[in-house]
Amino acid sequence: MVKFCPECGGSLSFDSVTKNFICRGCGLFAPREKFEEMHEKINAREQDNKSEDYLDWWQSSKKEKKSNF
């Protein structure tokens, strides 16, 4: 379920005539499916960033371990 705007985080209102959501903050206007797709892309990007952060940490710790020998 779409609760907030993926662009600005603003609240959304539903226009029953056009069957679209409208962001009260930035004015983004799209159907529910588009908002859900945007949220999924953001969540996937965040997961990728978390994986990269962990990988960077792991690789840096290995380098530090080797330098201590």
| pLDDT (tens digit per residue) in 6-63 | 888 889 898 999 989 999 999 988 898 888 888 888 888 777 666 666 667 667 765 5
DSSP assigned state of 5: -
At residue 1 the predicted structure's pLDDT band, cuts being 50, 70 and 90, is low
- 0.85 exceeded by the pTM? no
Residue 62 tokens, joined:
């290995």
pLDDT of 64 over the 70 cut: no
Q: What is the pLDDT of residue 42?
A: 82
- Residue 25's nearest CA partner among 2, 8, 38 is 8
The torsion angles phi and psi of 20, rounded to 5 degrees, stand at: -125, 160
Residue 5 tokens, joined:
């705007």
